[in-house]
Every structure is written in structure tokens, then in C-alpha cells.
């Protein structure tokens, strides 16, 4: 293997199994596989690669992974996996209908806080009658300092594009949201050639219908300075890398009251003189947020990865 300085640099824009689409600085895309058996690359990674010498059908071999600025994890039934790297921001899409899960929203924001990635909540379908109730449920998140952008992607697309475009400029943004919230509408609104890009990558990876289960990178501009990353469905964010005792540090409303606890190692579950529980009783932390904290704390205490 040559020295890293002799290898070409590339950006991972999609992957399926052990095959990845790597984009060169000039914009050329090629199919690569990692050397060795382990496959640690994710969309957003910068890698060092060289031309393939064997008849594997791939054009290149990934030899080295460049240092990451940050990394997101997802959790399935069996294990925690990394799935996106080097992000500038996360857009968490919720809607008036279907009713969003506050637990999913909280887990996403905790994952973002832990990874050090700024997160913004995008509140869609504000034209529907249910918007008032959803807006009320989002009020505590505004109070914590999270920006909540209100849009109606289908009813008022031009207004939504005008609001979102400046916030996406020059950044790599990860978009997530459960089915039915308008994620595909958002992608297609901001990336008119989205379907064409999906088709090209599907053909390159020979993955056909399976491409819909992979994380996808979209360029928003010809200069390739702004990008959206879409991952199908609403990923169950992996939080097992977080120590249970550190959980309040990633929940702004709880974090604000930790200093008021009598004991330095307070779990905020049963100890006397707990500043967090006092804040719940005073209405400064909502009951639902505290319930989410206790659920996640129990999960993290029960199993370590």
C-alpha cells in the first residue's frame, strides 16, 4: 500500500454492503470497496483510494479513512452502527400529521448534542388544523434554545424554499424524519434532480430496490458546496455510546438544573435534594421530558456496548 499522501482523496456519497460510491474532487464518481474484511466507511467520510488492480468489478480500493469531525450512530435490534459522518447540522422533520413521537425527537436531539452537531427542528404541515396542538408540544424545545422552523412544504413550497435555502447554503445537512412527515417532499423541493441521482447510484451499485434502504448524499448546487444527506425512515438513534450518568448533559432542560442537586452523583431518579426533580415539580421541566429521561437512563444503565 502506498503512503497516504500518494493516494487520491474522495468523498463517500453512498454505499451498499461492501461497495461504496466515492466522488473525486473533480466530481467523478466511482465504485470502490475497502481493503480487508472490515467495512467502516459511512456517507460523508473522506477517504484515500487508489485504482483497483483486481477483477472485482470495482474501479477503486479504499485504503484509508480520513479523521472525522463527528459521527452519528443508529441502533437496530442487535447492535449499534455508525451511518453518517462530518455533518454541519441536523434537520429533524416533524409534522402536524401524523402526530410526532416526542421520544424519537428527544433521542435525535440527544444524539446530535452528544456528537456536537447543531440541530434544528423543521415543523411541517403548519397549514393543517392540528398545527396548533403540535406547536404547543414543540414549545418546550423552543424554550430550550432549539430553532423551530415552520413550513408547509406542499401548500407553500416557494415560502419553504426561501426559508430553508439560506440555512442550507455552504453546509452538509442531515435530514431525518418518520414516514409521512414530508421528508421526500423536502428533498425533492430542494434538490430537483434527486430522483435522477438516486437512479444513477442504484445503477452503479447494482442494488436496485435496495437503494431505498441506504443513506444518500445530494448536492444542492453545481459548485458542490451545499449538500443534503437523507436516510430512509426515522433511524432509531444509537445512544449506547453515552454513559447514563452523562445523559443530563445532553438534555438542555435537565442540564440547567443539575447544579441544584445535593449530591454530585445524583441520578435524578430518587435522591433527596434533587434539583432536576424539583424543577419537574415546579413545571420548569415537562413531565414528558422527564419520563423520556428516565426511560433512556434505564436503557443505558441496563446495557453497555
The residue count of the chain comes to 305
Same domain, 107 and 172: yes
Q: Which of 37, 65, 93 is the last residue of a domain?
A: 65
Asked, for residue 30, whether it belongs to a domain, the answer is yes
Q: What is the pLDDT of residue 210?
A: 43
Same domain, 59 and 108: no
Same domain, 220 and 100: yes
Q: What is the pTM of this model?
A: 0.89
Asked, for residue 28, whether it belongs to a domain, the answer is yes
Same domain, 103 and 202: yes
Q: What is the pLDDT of residue 207?
A: 54
Residue 128's domain is classified under what CATH number? 3.40.50.300
Residue 31's domain is classified under what CATH number? 2.40.50.140
Asked, for residue 11, whether it belongs to a domain, the answer is yes
3-state secondary structure 176-234: ECCCCCCHHHHHHHHCCCHHHHHHHHHHHHCCHHHHHHCCEEEECCCCCCCEEEECCCC
d(CA 48, CA 303): 35
Contacts of 91 (CB under 8 A, 6+ apart): 119, 120, 122, 173, 174, 175, 176
Is 56 within 8 Å of 21 (Cβ atoms)? no
Q: What is the pLDDT of residue 304?
A: 52
Q: Which of 230, 261, 287 is the last residue of a domain?
A: 230
Q: What is the pLDDT of residue 2?
A: 45
Chain segment 131-187, per-residue pLDDT in tens? 999 999 999 999 999 999 999 999 999 999 999 999 999 999 999 888 889 988 999
CA-to-CA separations, 187 to 91, 101, 116, 181, 232, in angstroms, rounded: 12, 22, 24, 12, 12
Chain segment 81-105, per-residue pLDDT in tens? 678 999 999 999 999 999 999 999 9
Query: Residues 281-300: what's their mean pLDDT?
Result: 96
Quick count: other Cβ atoms within 10 Å of Cβ 194?
Answer: 18
Q: Give the confidence band of 233 by pLDDT, cuts at 50, 70, 90.
A: low
Is 77 within 8 Å of 65 (Cβ atoms)? no
CA-to-CA separations, 83 to 16, 19, 112, in angstroms, rounded: 12, 14, 13
d(CA 229, CA 214): 11
Same domain, 253 and 171: no
Asked, for residue 170, whether it belongs to a domain, the answer is yes
Query: Residues 234-249: what's their mean pLDDT?
Result: 82
Same domain, 88 and 226: yes
207 versus 252: which is more confidently predicted? 252
Number of domains in the chain: 3
Asked, for residue 239, whether it belongs to a domain, the answer is no
Asked, for residue 72, whether it belongs to a domain, the answer is no
**Alpha helices, DSSP H, located in the chain:** 102-115, 131-144, 157-168, 183-190, 194-205, 252-255, 275-281, 287-302
Same domain, 94 and 210: yes
Chain segment 183-216, per-residue pLDDT in tens? 889 999 999 877 766 667 767 766 544 444 578 8
Binding site as annotated, residues for Zn(2+):
261, 266, 268, 274
Same domain, 12 and 143: no
Q: Which of 208, 230, 252 is the last residue of a domain?
A: 230
48 versus 232: which is more confidently predicted? 48
204 versus 281: which is more confidently predicted? 281
- Is the pLDDT score of 121 beyond 60? yes
Q: What is the pLDDT of residue 231?
A: 78
Same domain, 192 and 143: yes
Residue 272's domain is classified under what CATH number? 1.10.40.50
Same domain, 258 and 172: no
Grid cell in block for residue 183:
421528508
Q: What is the pLDDT of residue 18?
A: 83
Same domain, 123 and 206: yes
Is 280 within 8 Å of 274 (Cβ atoms)? no
Q: What is the pLDDT of residue 39?
A: 76
Binding site as annotated, residues for GTP:
124-127, 177-185
Same domain, 60 and 144: no
Give the domain extent around 286: 244-302
State percent of the chain over pLDDT 70. 86
19 versus 166: which is more confidently predicted? 166
Q: What is the pLDDT of residue 295?
A: 95
The DSSP output letter for 244 is: G
124 phi and psi angles, rounded to 5 deg: -100, 165
* β-strand pairing of 147-150 with 172-176: unpaired
Looking at every residue in the chain, the average pLDDT score rounds to: 88
Is 147 within 8 Å of 120 (Cβ atoms)? yes
Contacts of 66 (CB under 8 A, 6+ apart): 9, 45, 46, 47, 48
Query: Residues 41-47: what's their mean pLDDT?
Result: 94
Give the residue from 187, 227, 222, 198 showing the smallest Cα distance to 85: 227
The DSSP output letter for 260 is: G
Asked, for residue 70, whether it belongs to a domain, the answer is no
The DSSP output letter for 301 is: H
State percent of the chain over pLDDT 90. 69
Q: Is 200 exposed, middle or buried (0-12, 13-18, 19+ CB in 10 A)?
A: middle
- Is the pLDDT score of 297 beyond 50? yes
Asked, for residue 164, whether it belongs to a domain, the answer is yes
Chain segment 52-83, per-residue pLDDT in tens? 876 666 789 999 999 999 998 876 554 556 78
Among 28-37, 215-224, 265-274, the range with the most confident prediction by mean pLDDT is 265-274
Amino acid at each position: 500500500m502506498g503512503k497516504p499522501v500518494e493516494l487520491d482523496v474522495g468523498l463517500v456519497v453512498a454505499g451498499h454492503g461492501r461497495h461504496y460510491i466515492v466522488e473525486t474532487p473533480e466530481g467523478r464518481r466511482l465504485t470502490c470497496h475497502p481493503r480487508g474484511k472490515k467495512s467502516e466507511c459511512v456517507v460523508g467520510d473522506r477517504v484515500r483510494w487508489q485504482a483497483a488492480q483486481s477483477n472485482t468489478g470495482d474501479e477503486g480500493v479504499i485504503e484509508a479513512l480520513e479523521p472525522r469531525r463527528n459521527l452519528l450512530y443508529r441502533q437496530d435490534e442487535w447492535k449499534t452502527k455508525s451511518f453518517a459522518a462530518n455533518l454541519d447540522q441536523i434537520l429533524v422533520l416533524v409534522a402536524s400529521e401524523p402526530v410526532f413521537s416526542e421520544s424519537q425527537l428527544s433521542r435525535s436531539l440527544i444524539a446530535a448534542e452528544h456528537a456536537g452537531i447543531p440541530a434544528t427542528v423543521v415543523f411541517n404541515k403548519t397549514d393543517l388544523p392540528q398545527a396548533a396542538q403540535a406547536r404547543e408540544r414543540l414549545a418546550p424545545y423552543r424554550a430550550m434554545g432549539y430553532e423551530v422552523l415552520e413550513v408547509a412544504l406542499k401548500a407553500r413550497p416557494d415560502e419553504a424554499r426561501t426559508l430553508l435555502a439560506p440555512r442550507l447554503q455552504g453546509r452538509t445537512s442531515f435530514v431525518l424524519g418518520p414516514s409521512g412527515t414530508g421528508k421526500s417532499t423536502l428533498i425533492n423541493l430542494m434538490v430537483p434532480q434527486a430522483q435522477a441521482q438516486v437512479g444513477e447510484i442504484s445503477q452503479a451499485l447494482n442494488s436496485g430496490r435496495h437503494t431505498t434502504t441506504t443513506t444518500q448524499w445530494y448536492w444542492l448546487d453545481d459548485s458542490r458546496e451545499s449538500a443534503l444527506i437523507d436516510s430512509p425512515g426515522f433511524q432509531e438513534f444509537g445512544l449506547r455510546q453515552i454513559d447514563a450518568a452523562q445523559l443530563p448533559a445532553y438534555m438542555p432542560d435537565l442540564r440547567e438544573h443539575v447544579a441544584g442537586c445535593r449530591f454530585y452523583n445524583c441520578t435524578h431518579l430518587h435522591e433527596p435534594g434533587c434539583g432536576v426533580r424539583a424543577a419537574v415539580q415546579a413545571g420548569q421541566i415537562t413531565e414528558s421530558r422527564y419520563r423520556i429521561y428516565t426511560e433512556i437512563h434505564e436503557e443505558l444503565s441496563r446495557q453497555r456496548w
